[in-house]
Amino acid sequence: MKFRFAAHSQCKILEPDPESRKPNPMPATILDGTKIAQDIRSEVAAEVKIMAAAGMRPGLAVVLVGHNPASEIYVRGKVKASEEVGIYSEKLTPPESSTTAELLAVIEDLNRRNDIDGILVQLPLPGQVDSKKILMAVDPAKDVDGFHPVNVGFLSTQRPGLVPCTPAGVLEILKRSNIPIAGREAVVVGRSDIVGKPAAMLMLNANATVTVCHSKTHDLPGVCRRADILVAAIGRAGMITRDFVKPGATVIDVGMNTVTDAAEFNHFFAGNAKREENFRKKGSTLMGDVHPEVAEVAGALTPVPGGVGPLTIAMLMFNTVKAAKMRRGTRVPELSRA
């Protein structure tokens, strides 16, 4: 990206060259997360087949407490994906009124079972439950969400462990799209424990120079414009505009925001016939944290939907097989060892 020095009263400020606001003659390559996720699921299915033939079919337990409609949809997707790749899955549905002690008993039982390799507790849990205590109780070897502090520690010390699914999916998109990471400037906007921090750690481990931004970051657009790889994990529809993006950069949009307001929809998507038809039918549209205009500046971009989203479940399947292999160690047939 070209920069010019702007002479302000006392000091010189680095501003983007107006040249860089010109549309990129080559619009961004759209990184097809659905295809990448499908490839991973096929690879996982092949591994599961080998393991099952050796009597070690990986097993996943999903704990869904109460009746949160969004959680029910997510869990249905996870169980269906497990069936498709041949993983044994079990859905446990303790009632909404469950206490921390009752859920701890459920987790302890799953920890003990040899046919269960992965345990996933669907969040959020009801208000009366101590969520941290429940997540801490999951055996780190079965923690397929990668949220347990033991797995967080393994990630930050580059030891084998279970990595949170969405950030792991971000890395898979980069690697499988042949986007170089080592030596590049990576900027992650968002510092949550489940997305921003692990995504930053994974890119650091892959030898990027990583900056993590958040709501208190000064000159966010300026920091983001340094990025060769920009990861947006904020939860604010269309916040990352072209002014945040170095021409040619790779932009990974983790955000999932539901837009229902017609004026907001038109602001982002007026003239997009496919989106308009969908919005008319459903009354809402799913969009990321990245403004559609970024496609004119970026070199490569993940769409929403169809970008990072599908990778999350694919990496859950991957993690379940990884947990099974790590637990069962040398008994796993040679071909399917990591």
Active site residues: 78, 122, 145
255: contact with ligand NDP by CB under 6 A: yes
- Amino acid (1-letter code) at residue 330: T
194: contact with ligand NDP by CB under 6 A: yes
End-to-end CA distance of the chain: 40
Q: Which is nearer to ligand NDP, 24 or 192 (CB)?
A: 192
C-beta of 254: minimal distance to ligand NDP in Å? 4
In this structure, are residues 292 and 253 in contact, taking their beta carbons and an 8 Å threshold? no
Single residue of 131, 192, 209, 272 touching ligand NDP by CB under 6 A:
192
CA gap 198, 149 in Å, rounded? 12
123: contact with ligand NDP by CB under 6 A: no
In this structure, are residues 166 and 310 in contact, taking their beta carbons and an 8 Å threshold? no
Give the pair of three-digit tokens for residue 245.
């993006």
Beta bridge pairs of residue 252: 231
256: contact with ligand NDP by CB under 6 A: yes
Q: Which is nearer to ligand NDP, 116 or 316 (CB)?
A: 316
Per-residue binding letters, 301-330, with ligand NDP (x by CB under 6 A) = -------xx--x------------------
214: contact with ligand NDP by CB under 6 A: yes
Q: Which is nearer to ligand NDP, 205 or 257 (CB)?
A: 257
Give the pair of three-digit tokens for residue 218.
């000064």
DSSP line for 210-240: EEEE-TT-TTHHHHHTT-SEEEE-S--TT-B
Single residue of 8, 216, 218, 281 touching ligand NDP by CB under 6 A:
216
CA gap 72, 70 in Å, rounded? 5
- For residue 65, give the nearest of 122, 132, 109 by alpha carbon: 122
C-beta of 173: minimal distance to ligand NDP in Å? 11
Beta bridge pairs of residue 188: 212, 231
C-beta of 191: minimal distance to ligand NDP in Å? 4
C-beta of 318: minimal distance to ligand NDP in Å? 14
In this structure, are residues 147 and 163 in contact, taking their beta carbons and an 8 Å threshold? no
C-beta of 218: minimal distance to ligand NDP in Å? 11
State the residues that interact with ligand NDP by CB under 6 A: 166, 189-192, 194-196, 213-217, 220, 233-236, 254-257, 308-309, 312
